[in-house]
Amino acid sequence: MTPYSFTYHKATSVEDAIAQLQKLGDEAKWVAGGHSLIPSMKLRLSAPEALIDIQGLDELKTISDGGHEIHIGALSTHRSVETSSLVKGKCPVVAKVASGIGDPQVRNKGTIGGSLAHADPSADYPAIILALGATITVQGPGGSRSISADDFFTGMFDTALEDHELITRVSVPAVGSGAAYAKFGNPASRYAIVGVAAYVEKDVHGTCTLARIAITGAADTVFRASAMEEALVGKPFNEASISAAAGHAPDESDMLSDLSASASYRAHLCSVMAKRALMDC
């Protein structure tokens, strides 16, 4: 199918992209990789009157070392995140997540900022970003601000981004171990039917002192599995405690039900994939 007609504009800087969006109005959209927006336009589910191309903003494509964290530019492609020696060395779980997104065409064009801004309830990045407690930096007409991952995802395709705000950077903690992602994916799209990201810290005695578990694909937005987290903290981090914690599955009444999986099956998968992710931790 073909989209409705639109005008094309090219941004020369972050400030220019924001100014153009303000000028063109609410019916304009930024476009980078385009792997979410363009298909919806072709299906005529989305009909922006103008597209502002931000793909040429090289300042948003850098991946840099911030000491205790890694700064990933919003226009970094999934492929560049997957293959970055810095990401693989200091936060390998993020590189692993990137490697499992879509197919080579998607990974070579899709961007981390676009994925987070789109906030698809079955996307992979939101789960690991939430589990790691990452920070998302955005810029708008009023300047820059930082948003905690815990506050960023607010609903289905909905985020804490305000009008005319653009994601510029994602900062993830340098976590060499103790983090993992396990996904039961749709074989065609590779979106998560259920995906579980986990980050665990333990003391010298092997007792779990911190657990952050985030689930994607199961509900209308990514969410923290608080009951599983609470069941782990203060317990020896071993297979027995992991199995017990994974048994605290979300209620199936909160799960999505569609052609890919029923609500009850998704609730079951939450337990299965949580155990796999935690064992990998």
Q: Which amino acid type is present at position 200? A: V
Domain count, the chain: 3
d(CA 24, CA 111): 24
Q: Is residue 106 part of a domain?
A: yes
Sole residue written with tokens 């903003």: 57
pTM above 0.85, yes or no: yes
**Do 208 and 266 belong together in one domain?**
yes
Q: Which amino acid type is present at position 20? A: Q
**Do 242 and 275 belong together in one domain?**
yes
Question: Which residues does 226 contact at the CB level (< 8 Å), separation at least 6?
Answer: none
Report pLDDT for 26.
87
d(CA 216, CA 277): 13
Q: Is residue 1 part of a domain?
A: no
Neighbours of 25 (CB within 10 A): 9
Categorize the per-residue pLDDT at 216 as very low, low, confident or very high, splitting at 50, 70 and 90. Answer: very high
Least confident of 1-5, 162-166, 192-196: 1-5
Element of type H or E holding 39: helix 37-42
Q: What is the DSSP letter of 4?
A: P
d(CA 215, CA 224): 6
**Do 123 and 108 belong together in one domain?**
yes
pLDDT tens profile 139-191: 999 999 999 999 999 999 999 999 999 999 999 999 989 999 999 999 998 99
Sole residue written with tokens 């002192």: 209
d(CA 27, CA 148): 28
Dihedral of the CA atoms 111, 113, 115, 121 (nearest 10)? 160
List, in sequence order, every residue forming a beta bridge with 73; answer none if it has no partner.
169
Containing structural domain, residue 241: 179-280
pLDDT tens profile 243-259: 999 999 999 999 999 99
**Do 159 and 63 belong together in one domain?**
yes
Residue 49: half-sphere exposure toward Cβ, Cα within 13 Å? 7
Domain of residue 239, CATH code: 3.30.390.50
Categorize the per-residue pLDDT at 1 as very low, low, confident or very high, splitting at 50, 70 and 90. Answer: confident
